[in-house]
Every structure is written in structure tokens, then in C-alpha cells.
């Protein structure tokens, strides 16, 4: 593994940690213990990058977040029309 591979891996981990922290905050707020763990994980990667004089890769964050949104099929604009309607199912 080369130095560039290690840097890219740390930047990927930082990007994933930032996305997880941001999405959790948007959905559930920042008052929970889980959010604090996500924030601590992200801050740890930030400290490693800052100590190494390596900037966070903001473009990588954007690409990973877009892939994540597409992967979870959250990018459709049709709303509920593309989702399974289970309101008629009798239990």
C-alpha cells in the first residue's frame, strides 16, 4: 500500500464519517449518545488529516453522498408513487 493509497483511505473514512454524522443529525438531531459517537469518529479522522497537513476531500464527500442516495433509491422525485402501497394489506 502506497502513501497515496493510505491518504485516500483516510479521506474515504473521513467522508463516510462526515456523511453519517450529518445524515443522523438531519434525521434525529444531535442530542443522542449515538450522534456524539458519530461526531467523535469524524473529529478523529479530521485530527489525523489536519495533523498530516492533508485537506479533507470535499469532492469525495459529495460523490459518496450521491452514490449513497442513489443506492438507497432516495433520489426519485416521484415520492410515494414509486413506493409500495401497503395501506390495503389486511393483517
Query: What is the model's pLDDT at position 86?
Result: 46
| Closest alpha carbon to 48 in 88, 73, 81, 12 | 12
- Given a cut of 70, whether residue 77 has pLDDT beyond it is no
pLDDT band at 90 (very low <50, low <70, confident <90, very high): very low
Cα 48 to Cα 22: distance, rounded to the nearest angstrom = 19
Grid cell locating 45: 479522522
Cα 42 to Cα 53: distance, rounded to the nearest angstrom = 16
Alpha carbon 61 to chain centroid, angstroms:
8
Number of H helices, E strands in the chain: 3, 0
> CB–CB of 24/38 below 8 Å?
yes
pLDDT band at 1 (very low <50, low <70, confident <90, very high): confident
Structure confidence by residue, pLDDT tens digits, 16-61: 999 999 999 999 999 999 999 999 999 999 999 999 999 999 999 9
Amino acid at each position: 500500500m502506497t502513501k497515496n493509497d493510505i491518504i485516500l483511505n483516510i479521506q474515504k473514512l473521513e467522508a463516510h464519517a462526515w456523511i453519517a454524522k450529518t445524515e443522523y443529525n438531519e434525521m434525529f438531531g444531535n442530542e443522542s449518545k449515538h450522534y456524539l459517537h458519530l461526531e467523535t469518529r469524524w473529529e478523529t479522522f479530521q485530527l489525523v488529516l489536519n495533523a498530516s497537513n492533508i485537506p479533507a476531500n470535499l469532492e469525495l464527500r459529495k460523490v459518496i453522498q450521491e452514490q449513497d442516495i442513489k443506492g438507497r433509491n432516495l433520489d426519485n422525485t416521484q415520492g410515494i408513487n414509486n413506493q409500495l402501497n401497503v395501506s390495503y394489506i389486511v393483517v
